[in-house]
Amino acid sequence: MKTTKSTGSTEFQRPSSREISSANFKTSPARRLRFGSSSFSGIWMLVIGTFLLITNQFSYAGGSCCAKAEPAAAPLSDKSLYQIESSWTTDAGQSIKLAELKGRPQVVVMFFATCRYACPILVHDLTRIEAALKPELRNKVGFTLVTFDTKRDTPAELAKFREMRNLPANWTLLHGADDDVLELAALLGVKYKQEADGQFAHSNLITVLNADGEITLQLVGLGVDITAAVRELEKSLTN
């Protein structure tokens, strides 16, 4: 994973990449169970696959068929954030899992809507990344904002934020449960803490995920040089 540093101010020291990867192991036993069932589901996929193969042969023998077999979906790697099973609510009130973002690279920022200083700059940095992409690639990239202000940033408030900022459909705004927000923050290496005045102190971190939900690049700071992120996104879309 590459990391680009900038001189932008962060209220927190950014954790090392080792700390981020060790965050993978800090999940509770219950969560680990959900993560660890891949070999079991592998066996089931084999059984179902064999069954489908057999039934397919029968239908060929009967001379009836013709639907082209869909290629089996590749399993997610251990590094994919889309292994997280938690449910989130979009600003349209729709319940989704992070895995539903699979298929296009995503630029992810954790934020809160009433932030007076850093978050408006972070969101602006994302719009700069979007604008710097080749026009034909722009709607092939997703932009995801996840709030850590679970009390105030209800889906309805996030919808207002989208409207106010005129954010297009390829931007996903997510509200989640406190524990799920904490877990995602740990995996991204984002630290945040609510202050007495209701504002949050937080890391200023932009994360680029590839189409499979793996972190490929992080930019630290505000008003950063976005070139590396644009290059990374274009690379993952043209490969």
Cβ distance to Cu ion smaller for residue 34 or 151: 151
Instruction: Please give the sequence-ordered ranges of beta strands (E in DSSP) within 5-103, or none if there are none.
Output: 87-90, 95-97
- Contacts to Cu ion from residues 89-128, by CB under 5 A: 115, 118-119
Distance of CA 112 to the CA centre of its chain: 16
Query: In the complex with Cu ion, which residue's Cβ is closer, 119 or 233?
Result: 119
Minimum distance between the CB of residue 168 and Cu ion, rounded to whole angstroms? Answer: 22
Give residue 15's Cα distance to chain centre. 19
Which residue sits closest to Cu ion, CB atoms considered?
115
Least distance (Å) between residue 115 CB and Cu ion = 3
Closest contact distance (angstroms) between CB of 233 and Cu ion is 23
Q: Minimum distance between the CB of residue 190 and Cu ion, rounded to whole angstroms?
A: 11
- How many residues bind Cu ion (CB under 5 A)? The answer is 3
Q: Which of residues 117-176 bind Cu ion (CB under 5 A)?
A: 118-119
Buried b (16+ CB within 10 A) or exposed e, 53-85: eeeeeeeeeeeeeeeeeeeeeeebeebbbbbbe
Dihedral-angle region of residue 53 (phi above 0 means left; psi in -120 to 50 means alpha; beta otherwise) = alpha
Contacts with Cu ion by CB under 5 A lie at 115, 118-119
